Amino acid sequence: MNTSLAKILKITLPLLLGVVLIWYSLSKISFQDLVQYFKNADYMFIGLGLLFGLLSHLSRAYRWKFMIEPMGYNLRLPNSIMAVFATYLVNYTIPRAGEVTRATILTNYEGVPFEKGFGTIVAERIADMCIMMLIIAITLFLEFEFIFQFFIERFDPFKISIAIAILLILGFLFFIFLKRSSSTFAIKIRSFVEGLIEGVLSIFKMEKKWAFIFHTFFIWAMYVLMFYITTFALDETSNIPLAAILIGFISASFSIAATNGGIGSYPVAVYAAFSIFSIAKEPSIAFGWIMWSSQTLMIIVLGGLSLFYLPIYNRRK
């Protein structure tokens, strides 16, 4: 596959998937009913959700300073904040292009070499991935009985055991292959994993590592609170169990990587998670759309203002 075609597919496929998922979600609820849910929603809780989301973004911008300062650069907080919001906005157009934009902004307005700035963003993503895995582990620990019972009722336990055993054996064989093989593929995978480990360990070597760790936990605590508090905006989702909130949050978080900014995929992911708990499809999809729309609107407004104001704020430099 040539490079041009690969780039076109990288842009168009997520958008096409988003369009398909928008159609799918709207096939589960009429547009008139969806509008009615928006009208009847309690916007005080939506506003609180926006506040928690805003706090997480500001914390992310402040956390970035801890990674830039050891390299000898003093990242100005306004530039960091505007770069973060610009990142989110650009990711709605081309997946992962926002990270490149963020590193470019750092180079243009703070004089940080692109490769160094991009390296800090990768390290941030590694830290975020670790917290996401921790949230999944906590969810499995707290709701193990429910999750186990859910799969037992729907799938043959013997087949599940066989599938797990096969996956473990394949995983072990793949590990041996990566460890001993000298193929280009194996070397790339080993280098990637080593880079991830090095990125995680580098966090503990930075001067303000505890402040960085605190902000990392704070960012994700705000994400979870943002999701949780917004459930009170609809009567039908105001009393859902903790398990539904955690699994819904995890499902929705992964959906953002599936399409540009979670377009179409976010409401479907919420619906899929909530359906496990027998929550009606209409309020589930409506909540997903309310959640996604409110956060997207904030990103469009603040991201747009950031891109507009960045050259004005830095005009003297």
Residue 97, amino acid: A
Taking 70 as the threshold, does the pLDDT of residue 98 lie above it? yes
- On whether residue 8 sits in a domain, the answer given is no
Residue 262, amino acid: G
Taking 60 as the threshold, does the pLDDT of residue 1 lie above it? no
Instruction: Tell me the residue range of the domain where 83 lies.
Output: 13-313
- On whether residue 2 sits in a domain, the answer given is no
Higher pLDDT, 24 or 57: 57
The total of structural domains in the chain comes to 1
Higher pLDDT, 134 or 161: 134
- On whether residue 7 sits in a domain, the answer given is no
> Given the structure tokens 């990242």, which residue do they identify?
75
Higher pLDDT, 188 or 4: 188
- On whether residue 112 sits in a domain, the answer given is yes
Taking 70 as the threshold, does the pLDDT of residue 4 lie above it? no
- On whether residue 242 sits in a domain, the answer given is yes
Predicted TM-score (pTM) above 0.85: no
Higher pLDDT, 219 or 156: 219
Is 219:84 a contact under the CB 8 Å cutoff? no
What's the mean per-residue pLDDT of the chain? 85
Residue 189: the pLDDT is 79
Is 234:283 a contact under the CB 8 Å cutoff? yes
pLDDT in tens, 245-277: 999 999 999 888 778 888 888 999 999 999 888
Region of poorest pLDDT, from 12-21, 25-34, 63-72: 12-21
Taking 70 as the threshold, does the pLDDT of residue 151 lie above it? no
- On whether residue 303 sits in a domain, the answer given is yes
Average pLDDT of span 125-132:
88
- On whether residue 1 sits in a domain, the answer given is no
Q: The tokens of 68 are what?
A: 């830039």
